């Protein structure tokens, strides 16, 4: 458990697989297997526990990253196995900072529909929603929540790129245009600042999201697993600097700050038993006593 805790702590604090391998002495394949197994458990726990929420203000956004290579540089045969641009949809409760829902996939209308329907299934109260100006939100929000919401889009306006700006310099934001879509949203709370700040936390804390490095994901499965692990840690194990508690505690889903060891304990016991059985068979094949399993 101590070794698992060290590995997971390194991953959720922004270390790559190889740097985690060097820090802990654990092999690359073992780290990836632990990541995949634990991410499945984290996603299942989030799906089961983050429900029946009383959310007043929900902010939604998408964050871009790529797997293998950027879409414009990806061959068709690589796109077939998941390479190319990948978007992570996120929804944040502006009051508790809880991540209500997340989804890793494309940026089209079908993904927006799945994402907003999942958000709607977790919220029991009337909610004010703010998104950016992405057009697919319009139908997705209406189909998922119906007319019983207050919904506004906030479209940021960027200035022209000047000659002095470098290739990766973002254009200067010169304003924002608010568009009321349905209901009567409070203009003072039409904002996407909190969800965009959370996206920055993802950039800094998930090595796969760091720009201009070679730590990007090479497999879509591993990319989705890193996101699931991060949001489990973000909701339950990471103290929010403003709230002084975790988002899950603020939302009433937990009464304490989860340790990394507690998150690791989400792994089903069957994984440990299967690993012990496999090792016992190997020792038996080598002519060693199975009892050596418990001493190794």
CB burial string 262-281: b at 16+ within 10 A, e below: ebbbbbeeeeeeeeeeeebe
Class of domain 2-265: alpha beta
| Arithmetic mean of pLDDT, 89-110 | 97
Q: What is the pLDDT of residue 118?
A: 97
Split at pLDDT 50, 70, 90, the class of 200 is very high
Split at pLDDT 50, 70, 90, the class of 282 is low
pLDDT, tens only, 7-18:
999 999 999 999
Helices (H), 27-178: 28-49, 76-79, 109-122, 136-145
192 near 177, Cβ under 8 Å?
no
Percent of the chain with pLDDT over 70: 88
d(Cα 195, Cα 211) in Å, to the nearest integer?
19
Q: What is the pLDDT of residue 169?
A: 64
Q: Which of 36-50, 188-202, 265-279 has the lowest mean pLDDT?
A: 265-279
Split at pLDDT 50, 70, 90, the class of 93 is very high
Domain boundaries, the chain: 2-265, 268-296
| Arithmetic mean of pLDDT, 34-55 | 97
| Arithmetic mean of pLDDT, 209-233 | 95
User: Mean pLDDT over all residues of the chain?
Assistant: 89
Q: Which of 42-56, 195-209, 275-289 has the lowest mean pLDDT?
A: 275-289
- pLDDT for residue 228 is more than 60: yes
Q: What is the pLDDT of residue 56?
A: 96
Q: What is the pLDDT of residue 148?
A: 83
| Arithmetic mean of pLDDT, 255-281 | 76
Q: What is the pLDDT of residue 188?
A: 93
d(Cα 26, Cα 35) in Å, to the nearest integer?
13
Percent of the chain with pLDDT over 90: 79
Q: Which of 99, 92, 50, 44 is nearest to 263 (CA)?
A: 44
Q: Which two tokens stand for residue 174?
A: 């010169």
- pLDDT for residue 281 is more than 80: no
| Arithmetic mean of pLDDT, 282-291 | 52
Q: Is 212 exposed, middle or buried (0-12, 13-18, 19+ CB in 10 A)?
A: exposed
| Arithmetic mean of pLDDT, 158-168 | 65
pTM attached to this predicted model: 0.86
Q: What is the pLDDT of residue 156?
A: 79
- pLDDT for residue 223 is more than 60: yes
pLDDT, tens only, 131-153:
999 999 999 999 999 988 999 99
């Amino acid at each position: 458990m101590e070794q698992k805790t060290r590995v997971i702590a390194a991953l959720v604090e922004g270390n790559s697989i190889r740097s985690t391998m060097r820090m802990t002495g654990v092999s690359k394949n073992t780290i990836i297997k632990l990541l995949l197994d634990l991410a499945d458990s984290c996603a299942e726990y989030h799906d089961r526990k983050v429900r029946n929420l009383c959310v007043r203000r929900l902010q939604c956004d998408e964050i871009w990253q790529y797997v293998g290579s950027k879409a414009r540089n990806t061959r068709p045969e690589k796109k077939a196995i998941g390479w190319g641009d990948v978007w992570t949809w996120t929804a944040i409760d502006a009051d508790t900072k809880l991540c209500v829902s997340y989804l890793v996939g494309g940026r089209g209308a079908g993904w927006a529909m799945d994402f907003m329907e999942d958000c709607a299934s977790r919220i029991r109260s009337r909610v004010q929603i703010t998104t950016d100006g992405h057009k697919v939100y319009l139908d997705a929000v209406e189909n998922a929540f119906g007319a019983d919401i207050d919904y506004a889009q906030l479209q940021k306006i960027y200035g022209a790129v000047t000659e002095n700006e470098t290739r990766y310099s973002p254009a200067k934001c010169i304003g924002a245009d608010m568009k009321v879509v349905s209901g009567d949203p409070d203009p003072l709370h039409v904002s996407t600042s909190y969800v965009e700040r959370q996206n920055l936390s993802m950039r800094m804390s998930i090595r796969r999201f760091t720009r201009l490095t070679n730590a990007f994901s090479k497999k879509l499965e591993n990319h989705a697993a890193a996101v699931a692990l991060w949001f489990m840690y973000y909701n339950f194990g990471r103290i929010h600097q403003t709230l002084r508690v975790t988002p899950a505690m603020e939302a009433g889903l937990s009464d304490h700050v989860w340790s990394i060891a507690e998150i690791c304990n989400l792994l089903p016991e069957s994984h440990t038993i299967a690993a012990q059985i496999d090792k016992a068979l190997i020792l038996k094949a080598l002519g060693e006593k199975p009892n050596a399993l418990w001493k190794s």
